[in-house]
Amino acid sequence: MFSSVKPYEGQQFTALRKQCQHSRTLFEDPLFPPVDQSLFYQVNRVGKVTWKRPKELCDDPHLFVHGISAHDLHQGQLGNCWFVAACSSLASREALWQKVIPDWKDQEWDPNHPDLYAGIFHFRFWRFGQWEDVVIDDRLPTANGKLIYCHSNDSNEFWSALVEKAYAKMYGCYEALDGGNTADALVDFTGGVSEPVDLVEGRYGQEENARNQLFDRVLKVHNRGGLISCSIRATSQADMEARLDCGLVKGHAYAVTDVKKVRLGHGLLAFFKSEKLSMIRMRNPWGEREWNGPWSDSSEEWQRVSKSEREKLGVTVEDDGEFWMNFEDFTKNFTDLILCRLINTSHLSIHKTWEESVKFGSWSRNDDPLRNRSGGCSNNKTTYVQNPQYMFDVKKSEDEVLICLQQKDRRARPKEGKGENLAIGFDIQRVELNRLYRMHMSQEKVCSSVYINSRSVFVRKDLKEGRYVIIPTTFGPGLEGEFLLRIFTDVPSDFKELTVDEPPQTCWTGLFGYPQLVTQVHVMKAVGLQGQDSNGSSDPYVIISCEGEKVQSPAHKDNLSPDFDVKALFYRKKPKKDILIEIYNKNVLNDSFMGQVTLSGEVTDQPQQHTVHLRGKGSQQSNDLPGMISVIIITRNVLTGI
């Protein structure tokens, strides 16, 4: 994962530290100096700020004091609870924070060798498909001798303040972190994929089955090392950070620090009883103000749990910002949940292994419709298919597919003011099994993401075997930006961008001809096929042939009236050549013929639907009717395209 870490702005940590050690000076970062421009976009909003090194704030500074913990973090005077909540989640995952804070022992203050300290640190974040190593000096903004932003419980612990400074440098200034999305920070810390869950829209608070399924998903993400955050949506500015009677705060990001099935009862009774409660633990980045309902720190519900179980769960009666809730109350009180999955691509793992494919792309304007790549969403019918198009195959009968579209973050532009991200999204369309060239008209839409001006959008979808095209778009046409598209499947998907509009002309075109027509054949279903197996059933599949090219569908198990729903595309040099559709029964030893039909693909303005009788090979007899088949044919000029 870290074999190709890129130094941010070309600053090499090891070389810079050696220079400082050799010259016996403390590092001063020229790219992020101790001035107001490193704090704010335009105007100082906190008054007089003094930048101090940790040694000026305490006698015995450390990166960590008694290890790292979610309780180390307190938010300070910046509206970045989203970032602090993500840090709290990170602190609970040793394997993850050691990637964000590399060589942490080597970076720690060494009282035995004070001469080696050079006032320089480095941290790593995942940005737009690339891990970047960010170097900072240790000068931190203070007021009245205290840190004004993120700080720790222990006055001599500085990891949280230094990570925050590196993150602020990456985004241009501290103020760029004022208001943001926890999902972005979770991805920046892990390189994972964030899945937002709308608890209200999913009716998880009301529907038990849906809630139980969601809990299993949350538990799986947690147990496999993922990071989780949650919040209560604020509906107005006045609602932001408003405290509810239950103790929770609106418009405020909470870190999920544990997910458990808690055994109820005491002693042997607890061991043999099967009753378990779905529980989730959260932490408020403020380090105070907790949930005061059932299963809060001192509530009587905890008497239903043995002392040893409570100790194992770490239940404490303190206003430290951390608290437990049962999952039903959680889904009734919180509105949004973010699951940051660590996608496992290691074939050595005992858990599910995903095949990852990654493509970088851009939305760009061009007056030529064939070159324009900024067509907007599907509301813009004339320009929609001008967007970038990416094709992939689902090779199993059904496969769970994860798709994440991420735009290059526009917030890291301090000279232009706080940038706004584009509203982005994508559609997935099912296309012909032999599609090789760009689409020129929309096809069957099987799934869409939301359109939102967040940094990334995500879809998890079960798809049937076949070929699909992803069309990533901005909501409006004519907008420009860069994006990263990632897709995860169970088996390799042959993911690639479609860049060519039609078959290329070659030196042989004049001799053998160039396609004049393009025909889409959509075989929808067959009815009343005659059974071929000993059990009276069959496993039929269809072959579509035209001008020497064949396309074969998957077989349909034990079905005499299958919904084939299969498409094929043919670029035709000889428009008068017929289209042959044949149906066979899949057999281990020898596939058997079940019937065929011959059709012509004439040029028409509208799709032509045919429901025709199948016949035996070479048969013209009306009494030889082994079933019927429904077909839609669209034929257009190549330049018009499909």
Q: What is the pLDDT of residues 374-405, one digit of tens each?
A: 999 999 999 999 999 999 999 999 999 999 99
Tell which wins on pLDDT, 530 or 595: 595
631: helix, coil or strand? strand
pLDDT of residue 347: 63
Amino acid 273: pLDDT: 59
Give the per-residue pLDDT at 527. 92
87 is catalytic: no
> Which DSSP helix (H) or strand (E) runs through 619?
none
Of 20, 81, 173, 230, the active-site residue reads: 81
What pLDDT score was predicted for residue 402? Answer: 94
Over the stretch 245-269, which tens digit does the pLDDT of each residue have?
999 999 888 989 999 998 887 655 5
Ramachandran region of residue 523, left (φ > 0), alpha (ψ -120 to 50) or beta? beta
Q: What pLDDT shows up at residue 534?
A: 62
Tokens of 565: 């729903």
Strand order of the β-sheet with 253-263 is 193-198, 336-341, 227-231, 253-263, 276-283, 322-326
What pLDDT score does 318 carry?
65
> Taking a C-beta distance cutoff of 8 angstroms, is the pair 475, 454 a contact?
no
| 195-203, long-range: CB < 8 A, 24+ apart | 195/338, 195/339, 195/340, 195/341, 195/458, 195/460, 196/336, 196/337, 196/338, 196/458, 197/336, 197/337, 197/338, 197/339, 198/335, 198/336, 199/331, 199/334, 199/335, 199/336, 199/337, 200/233, 200/335
With CA atoms as reference, report the closest residue to 479 among 404, 403, 386, 415. 386
pTM of the model: 0.88
Residue from 388, 333, 346, 389 nearest 365 by CA: 388
Residue tagged 């220079």 (tokens): 19
Burial of 196 (0-12, 13-18, 19+ CB in 10 A): middle
- Name the phi and psi angles at 120, rounded to 5: -130, 140
Average pLDDT over every residue of 203-210: 95
Only one residue has tokens 């919180």, namely 334
pLDDT of residue 482: 95
Mean pLDDT of 472-492: 95
Q: Cα–Cα distance between 204 and 278 in angstroms, integer?
A: 14
Using the predicted structure, report yes or no on whether residue 1 has a pLDDT greater than 50: no
- Number of residues written out for the chain: 642
More confident residue, 56 or 297: 56
Do the bridges between strand 6-7 and strand 130-137 make them parallel or antiparallel, or are there none, so unpaired? parallel
Instruction: Judge whether residue 357 has pLDDT over 50.
Output: yes
Quick check: 83 and 170 in contact, CB under 8 A? no
Query: For 233-239, what is the mean pLDDT?
Result: 83
Give the tens place of pLDDT for each residue, 141-192: 999 999 999 998 889 999 999 999 999 999 999 988 888 889 999 999 999 9
Helix (H, G, I), strand (E, B), or coil: what is residue 373? coil
- Answer with the residue of higher pLDDT: 344 or 328: 328
Cβ atoms within 10 Å, residue 349:
11
Q: Does 546 participate in catalysis according to the annotation?
A: no
Compute, in degrees rounded to 10, the torsion defined by CA atoms 584, 586, 590, 593: -10
Q: Mean pLDDT highest for which of 49-53, 287-291, 515-519? A: 49-53
Tell how far CA 570 is from the center of its chain.
Answer: 35
The predicted pLDDT at position 170 comes to 93
**Cα distance between residue 357 and residue 403, in whole Å:** 10
8 A C-beta contact, residue 393 and residue 454: no
Determine contact, residues 110/118, Cβ cutoff 8 Å. no
Q: 591-635, pLDDT tens digit by residue?
A: 889 999 998 877 676 888 989 989 887 655 445 568 899 999 998
Q: Which run of H or E residues covers position 105?
A: helix 104-107
Predicted pLDDT of residue 426: 98
Q: pLDDT higher for 282 or 509? A: 282
Only one residue has tokens 């390189």, namely 191
- Give 448's contacts (C-beta < 8 A, 6+ positions apart): 425, 426, 427, 428, 459
pLDDT in tens, 268-326: 555 555 678 899 999 887 767 789 999 988 788 888 888 877 777 877 656 677 899 99
Please state, rounded to an integer, the average pLDDT across all residues of the chain. 89
In the set 284, 380, 421, 585, the catalytic residue is 284
Would residue 251 be called left, alpha or beta, if left means φ above 0 and alpha means ψ between -120 and 50 degrees?
left
Catalytic residue among 71, 74, 151, 252: 252
Is 284 an annotated catalytic residue?
Answer: yes
Helix ranges, 197-306 (H): 208-223, 267-272
User: Is 70 exceeded by the pLDDT of residue 535?
Assistant: no
Query: What is the average per-residue pLDDT within 509-525?
Result: 87
